[in-house]
Amino acid sequence: MTMNKETAVTGKTKDAGGFAETVKTVFYAVIIAFGVRTFAFEPFNIPSGSMIPTLLIGDYLFVSKFSYGYSKYTVAFGFPVFEGRILGHAPERGDVAVFKLPRDNKTDYIKRVVGLPGDTVQVSGGVLIINGQPVKRERIEDFVTKDALGREVRVAQFIETLPEGRTHRIIEETDNGPLDNTPVFKVPPGHVFMMGDNRDNSLDSRVPAQVGYVPLENLVGRAEFLFFSLEDGTRFFEVWRWPFDLRFSRLFSGVK
């Protein structure tokens, strides 16, 4: 009887110890995940076409949190633990960055930094003008995609060269659209001017009532590289479609 009692007690102790170890493991995993998402990298997916051709609908990418320092908007799960930005680094013109939409400070947007504090930015006839100087753009091959019916669609594509020499691709359906001719914007201190690479289909800083100037505090991080990419219309959990809809050529490519 004594042995049975001792065995029973020992069994309960093992069960309790196993449960405690499981709780500790889960706790440490949460802390590590929180730390990585706050201080290192956070994954994002692209749900819209505003950054075509650089980013496509269905792309999954990592954003580096340390690139611009840390604010309450970089903290994992949005905990408002402090104000301002610590270990701050100014973004560079041409960076592709995730930011919190200024009008609600909650919605994540991703665009390209084209205007820095103190710059003037304008678009005239589809051409980007920074500090009074037209930005060079070079016509290249059409960007080819498909519409909802599977028909081929061709859009004019350009290589745009920013003042510091960084280049990237943009697409333009027309040079006379609603966002192709704007007033001159003067970027205030502590803010940046953001634009999408799909110039005629991007809600960005050219629309003051919807986006406008983006405070540096609202920057979440810089887009670094793609780790996954699925054809538009394929959802991540539809693993049975991956062999057919995975864009292998985009895997682990850097965001320029």
Structure tokens of 201? 């289909």
Long-range CB contacts (within 8 A, 24+) of 88-93: 88/216, 90/116, 90/216, 91/67, 91/116, 91/192, 91/216, 91/219, 91/222, 92/164, 92/166, 93/162, 93/163, 93/164, 93/166
**111 is an active site residue:** yes
Residue 16: what residue type? Answer: A
User: Catalytic pick from 71, 111, 202, 229?
Assistant: 111
CA dihedral 92, 93, 96, 102 (to 10 degrees): 90
Q: Which of 133, 132, 111, 126 is nearest to 51 (CA)?
A: 111
**24 is an active site residue:** no
CA dihedral 28, 30, 35, 36 (to 10 degrees): 110
Show which residues are catalytic: 50, 111
